[in-house]
């Protein structure tokens, strides 16, 4: 990266105002709408003035956390890169032998000049939910090694960020140093040939950034995940194990279509297998009843698609400076001339 100026990515301003998740009420809210929230909050059990004030304080607290997020993340990266001792340094650089042989064959097919959508469908599993597909990605042995490494990090005294506003347990893979040599290669060299055929209408040929994290579910931690959509054009979700019972994923419809949880389709997930789905396809995870469930999530983004319309606020994105990939928005060349920190030096 030295010498060449890295492409700059941005966040949309709605990140600081919209889609604030209230865990107690399982509700996403926008800050500006806070005064109008009373009826819906009341219907969900927020009855007293005190409870309502608590909600407002939580919204303010979350906005404040988001404002400080980039700086806090940079500080964690600096500490982790200087002091964290990996248990298994080899897992940080993507190797072909981490990949399931079937996955390598699927990718080889997608890269071939005769590849087409029907041919790919013969090689992967189409699930009962619309445009959700499954195929092996990693070997079970690699999944075990990766979880072992993540547990080593979890047990260390290193600073940890939350994967996103809905998951409290897990690891932000960019902070741990997986982005450049692992996830970027996985996205560009292996996943993009697949998404090009499956999701050309969602930017499948131009997945130019990502946010990758591992989420952990355990009985005494996060047990499930509420119905939601992702800040992504296409999401890859790989089951890494370990042993757990129940906790299936379920899919509804695209976010524009209202669907109740009872109308959803349940999907079983196997260790090492990945599910691909459109980011705006609403989904959730049922509670696990025992054990621990770890999943690798890659939110893939296409700047070409999201520059038109931010998927989180449905408006033209209001670009705000960000570190790393931000939320995957890019600017026109003239907008990019604005002086700012060089993202290269921050990674």
Applying CB under 5 A, among 34, 166, 313, 331 the residue interacting with Zn ion is 313
Instruction: Work out the angle at residue 289's Cα, subtended by the Cα atoms of residues 292 and 296, and round it to the nearest 5 degrees.
Output: 35
Q: Is 310 in the site for Zn ion (CB under 5 A)?
A: yes
20 in contact with Zn ion (CB under 5 A): no
Using rule CB under 5 A, residue 305 touches Zn ion: no
Nearer of residues 230 and 292 to Fe ion, judged by Cβ: 230
Choice between 18 and 230, CB closer to Fe ion: 230
Of the candidate spans 40-48, 101-109, 209-217, 228-236, the one that interacts with Fe ion by CB under 5 A turns out to be 228-236
Q: How far is the CB of 315 from Zn ion (least distance, A)?
A: 6
Q: Helices in 84-116 by DSSP H: which ranges? A: 101-111
Of 105 and 321, CB closest to Zn ion: 321
Residue from the set 29, 198, 312, 322 that interacts with Zn ion by CB under 5 A: 312
The CA radius of gyration of the chain, in Å to the nearest whole number, is 20
Give the start-end residues of each E strand in the chain.
10-12, 20-22, 27-29, 125-126, 133-136, 170-172, 209-218, 225-228, 234-241, 244-246, 249-254, 265-267, 273-278, 281-285, 288-301, 319-321
Q: Which is nearer to Fe ion, 230 or 327 (CB)?
A: 230
Are the C-beta atoms of residues 203 and 305 closer than 8 Å to each other? yes
With CB under 5 A as the contact rule, the residue among 222, 230, 233, 292 that binds Fe ion is 230
Q: Of 32-40, 87-95, 189-197, 225-233, which part binds Fe ion (CB under 5 A)? A: 225-233
CA distance 58 to 62: 6
CA distances (Å), 67 to each of 73, 299, 339, in order? 11, 21, 20
Q: Check: CB of residue 94 under 8 Å from CB of residue 123.
A: no
Q: Measured from the CB of residue 283, what is the shortest distance to Fe ion in angstroms? A: 6
> How many amino acids of this chain bind Zn ion (CB under 5 A)?
5
Task: Name the site residues for Zn ion (rule: CB under 5 A).
Answer: 12, 14, 310, 312-313
């Amino acid at each position: 990266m030295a010498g060449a100026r890295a492409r700059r990515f941005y966040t949309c301003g709605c990140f600081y105002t919209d889609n604030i998740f209230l865990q107690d009420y399982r509700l996403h809210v926008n800050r500006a709408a806070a005064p109008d929230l009373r009826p819906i909050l009341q219907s969900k059990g927020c009855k007293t003035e005190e409870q309502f004030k608590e909600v407002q304080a939580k919204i303010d607290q979350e906005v404040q956390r988001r404002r400080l997020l980039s700086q806090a993340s940079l500080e964690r990266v600096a500490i982790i890169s200087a002091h964290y001792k990996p248990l298994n340094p080899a897992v940080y650089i993507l190797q072909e032998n981490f990949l399931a042989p079937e996955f390598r064959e699927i990718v080889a097919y997608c890269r071939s000049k005769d590849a087409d959508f029907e041919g790919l469908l013969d090689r992967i599993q189409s699930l009962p939910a619309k445009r959700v597909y499954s195929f092996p990605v990693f070997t079970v042995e690699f999944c075990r090694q990766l979880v072992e490494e993540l547990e080593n990090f979890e047990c260390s005294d290193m600073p940890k960020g939350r994967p996103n506003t809905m998951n409290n347990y897990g690891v932000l893979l960019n902070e741990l140093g997986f982005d450049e040599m692992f996830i970027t290669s996985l996205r560009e060299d292996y996943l993009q040939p697949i998404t090009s055929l499956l999701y050309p209408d969602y930017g499948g040929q131009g997945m130019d950034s990502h946010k990758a994290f591992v989420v952990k579910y355990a009985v005494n931690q996060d047990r499930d995940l509420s119905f939601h959509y992702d800040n992504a054009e296409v999401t890859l979700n790989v089951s890494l194990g370990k042993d757990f019972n129940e906790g299936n994923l379920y899919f509804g419809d695209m976010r524009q279509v209202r669907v109740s949880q009872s109308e959803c389709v349940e999907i079983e997930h196997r260790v090492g297998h990945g599910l691909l789905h459109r980011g705006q396809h609403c989904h959730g995870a049922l509670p696990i009843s025992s054990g621990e469930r770890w999943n690798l999530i890659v939110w893939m983004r296409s700047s070409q698609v999201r520059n038109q319309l931010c998927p989180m606020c449905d408006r033209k994105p209001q670009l705000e400076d960000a570190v790393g990939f931000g939320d995957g928005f890019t600017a026109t060349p003239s907008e990019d001339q604005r002086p700012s920190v060089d993202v290269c030096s921050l990674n």
